[in-house]
Each structure stands twice: as structure tokens, then as C-alpha cells.
Amino acid sequence: MDVRIGTTVDGRAAGFATSSARPLLLVGDVGRGKTTTARYLTRWWLANTRRHTHVYAQAPSEWADLRCEPEHPDQLEDPVGRDCRPGACLVVVDDMDLLDDSRISFLPLGRARTILTSHGGNSLAGRALLDSEVDCLGLVRPDHADPAEAAVLDGQGRLDWPIGTVAVIPDQRGPMDFPCHRWQAPAGAWAVAGAVGR
Ligand SMILES: [Zn+2]
């Protein structure tokens, strides 16, 4: 089953293939909805209370309202532990660009559902990740697109995105999917995020 996240330039539904072992990589410029989309998918995953997530984010507090204990990407080490029931984990790295090469091998590629976000593909080119199979969606803004996005909307590729990236206009999201602010976080969750530090 797929969770829909938006529409491709040629009008097809695009989403997260929940049964696929391939990581979902979301690329796009700042403000195109990468974190929002990743949060939406995480909320969907956690709606089944038998499942859990391991979140690594540049700004852990943006995730503090969700049932997870976000950490900075520097903290990534085997996220899927022995106590994790098979199939129960979703691993999210919000801002792959911060993950140094030595940590890439800790990604549970093919072992757990994985969602990654990145500003662009260039910073990932040549890194081990792209040698493996990923489903890459490039988020674009349909209105007031910048020239590179206008070209994408015309069906052209984009040099700073991985080859095979599918351009997607993300669906509008509600406030619960937007990055969380300090005053929106439950007190306990904020203490956890605060302890991790920025
Ligand atoms: Zn787990």
C-alpha cells in the first residue's frame, strides 16, 4: 500500500511505497516541504501504535510533538536495535547533508523502512548511499517556481538531483505536519529534545 504525498508533473499520484525495502529520498530546495512530508509519513507510521520511529534531525525540536526521541544526525549509530520487532521501525534522517560518510553505513538500507531528506543530490553524489537503490522524489513548488523548478515542471531533469528523481508537487498539509515549535511540544517530549541539544 502506498501513502500518497503528492502529484507528479504528468498528473500521477506519488507516494511512499510502504512495502518497498528501498529508502525514500526526498530532495528539493529549502521550503518545498521535505521535513513536512517526512513528518506526515512519520505520523502515518506512528498511527499504528505497534510501530515506532528512529528520527535523526538537524532540529530535533521540530519533531518533539511526535512519539519519537529525535537526535542529531551526528548521533546515528545502528538505529534498529535488538529490541526492535521486525517491521516495526521507521528510520528517518531529516537532512542527510549533515550525515558524515562514516555514518552512512549505519543506515539500515533494505532492513528497515527509511526516509531521508536532502537539499540536493550533489552533496550525495559519489556517496555510498546512491550506489544502492533509492526511490528519489524531488519536491517542487508549482506557483512562482524558480527557473530550475520551471524546467522540472516542463519535464526536464535537474542537474543537482540524482538521476531518476521523479518531480512531485506535494499535497497541501495541515498544521500538524509542519515542523513543531517549542510551544507546541508536549512538556515531556520537549525535555527529551532539549536534552539532546542543538
Ligand atoms: Zn526500532
Q: Is 77 exposed, middle or buried (0-12, 13-18, 19+ CB in 10 A)?
A: exposed
CA of 143 to the centre of ligand 1 (A): 39
Taking residue 151's Cβ as centre, other Cβ atoms within 10 Å add up to: 16
> Are 22 and 134 within 8 A, CB to CB?
yes
List the CATH number of the domain containing 60.
3.40.50.300
Instruction: Name the residue among 150, 143, 139, 115 with its Cα closest to residue 41.
Output: 115
User: What pLDDT shows up at residue 132?
Assistant: 65
Q: What is the pLDDT of residues 137-157, one digit of tens each?
A: 999 998 887 888 999 998 888
pLDDT of residue 156: 87
Cβ count near 27 (within 10 Å):
26
How far does residue 191's CA lie from ligand 1's centre (Å)? 21
CA 97–ligand 1 middle distance (angstroms): 23
Ligand 1 mean position, distance from CA 165 (Å): 28
- Domain count of the chain? 1
Q: What is the pLDDT of residue 194?
A: 46
**Dist CA 169 CA 167 (whole Å):** 7
Q: Which pLDDT does position 193 carry in this prediction?
A: 46
Please give the distance, rounded to the nearest whole angstrom, from the Cα atom of residue 74 to the centre of ligand 1: 18
User: Residue 8 Cα, ligand 1 centroid: separation in angstroms?
Assistant: 31
Domain span at 153: 2-196
Query: Which long-range contacts link 66-73 to residues 24+ away (Cβ below 8 Å)?
Result: 66/39, 66/42, 66/180, 66/189, 68/42, 69/192, 69/193, 69/196, 70/193, 70/196, 71/196, 72/98, 72/196, 72/197, 72/198, 73/98, 73/99, 73/103
pLDDT of residue 129: 64
User: Residues in the chain with pLDDT < 70?
Assistant: 1, 121-132, 187-198
Residue 4 CA to ligand 1 centre (angstroms): 24
Q: Please give the distance, rounded to the nearest whole angstrom, from the Cα atom of residue 53 to the centre of ligand 1.
A: 6
Residues surrounding ion ligand 1 at CB below 5 Å: 84, 89
The rounded Å distance from CA 82 to ligand 1 centre is 8
Q: How far is ligand 1, taken at its centre, from the CA of residue 104, in Å?
A: 17
